[in-house]
């Protein structure tokens, strides 16, 4: 298999790292700026898949990270070769840079049909390149958009890349770092404390979590790559899914939230 750089000691935090490379197919983590975390900003991960010379961007983010993401994407591929931009959902840290990405690429944008009419509020005047994803998901080239509704957005999808067997999970699996950061989860038990608060408050219910986990277990997954926090390798990914399907969250704990 083509997995590389799986030790935290080898990771280039600023420039990103190739997570998988084989036969002209790459799955790339695009790095982060640790000063953002120290400055109190929400830490975000962006990813790029290159297949047969064409690029697919995953949740490329908002205005704040746009210059960094453009610079790192350009290290791997010409911007003219970005074919697709995939958004898991509508949050500003995910999609508020959409007008700028449309202005510098020729890419089509894929997002749940529930959010297409809201995108002009991010400055888009031409929605001709916005392609709505139906509630039941669908194919984007060789990738699969998988429904993940109410995890946490009512219109949300995740993306599975069958070549690398990496699942891009958006906010599912997100962690909120403190002073210590790392790219790969190597101690799940200690990592839970960075995920638990977010998932309890933002995910809709245990029933929704179970529905998602049952759907995802049909896929052969070697990594789960979330938009915030650290990446789960194969065994940690299995542990995470088991943790998630038993989590009480959202409406399960509404009395605790609003008391």
**237 closest CA partner among 181, 186, 178, 197:** 186
The strand pair at 108-112 and 157-161 is best described as unpaired
The per-residue pLDDT for 2 is 58
Q: Over the chain, what is the mean pLDDT?
A: 92
For range 56-80, the mean pLDDT: 94
| Cα–Cα distance, 2 to 160 (Å, whole number) | 17
The per-residue pLDDT for 15 is 77
Q: Convert 35-76 into a string of H (helix), E (strand) and C (coil).
A: HHHHCCCCCCCCEEEEECCEEEEECCCCCCCHHHHHHHHHCC
**106 closest CA partner among 126, 133, 92:** 126
Q: What is the pTM of this model?
A: 0.93
């Amino acid at each position: 298999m083509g997995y590389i750089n799986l030790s935290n000691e080898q990771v280039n935090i600023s420039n990103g790292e190739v997570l998988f490379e084989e036969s002209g197919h790459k799955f790339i983590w695009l790095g982060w700026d640790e000063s953002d975390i120290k400055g109190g900003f929400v830490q975000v991960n962006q990813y790029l898949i290159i297949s047969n010379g064409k690029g697919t961007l995953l949740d490329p983010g908002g205005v704040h990270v746009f210059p960094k993401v453009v610079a790192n994407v350009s290290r791997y591929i010409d911007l003219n070769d970005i074919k697709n931009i995939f958004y898991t959902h509508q949050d500003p840290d995910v999609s508020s840079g959409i007008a700028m990405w449309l202005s510098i690429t020729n890419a089509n944008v894929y997002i749940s049909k529930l959010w297409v009419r809201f995108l002009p509020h991010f400055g888009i005047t031409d929605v001709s390149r916005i392609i709505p994803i139906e509630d039941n998901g669908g194919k984007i080239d060789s990738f699969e958009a998988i429904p993940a509704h109410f995890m946490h957005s009512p219109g949300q999808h995740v993306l599975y890349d069958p070549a690398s067997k990496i699942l891009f999970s958006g906010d599912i699996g997100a962690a909120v770092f403190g002073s210590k950061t790392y790219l790969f989860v190597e101690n799940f038990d200690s990592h839970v404390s960075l995920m638990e608060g977010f998932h309890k408050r933002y995910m809709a219910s245990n029933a929704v979590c179970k529905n998602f986990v049952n759907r995802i277990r049909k896929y052969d997954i070697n990594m789960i790559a979330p938009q915030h926090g650290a990446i789960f390798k194969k065994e940690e990914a299995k542990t995470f899914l088991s943790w998630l399907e038993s989590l009480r969250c959202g409406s399960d704990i509404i009395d605790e939230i609003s008391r």
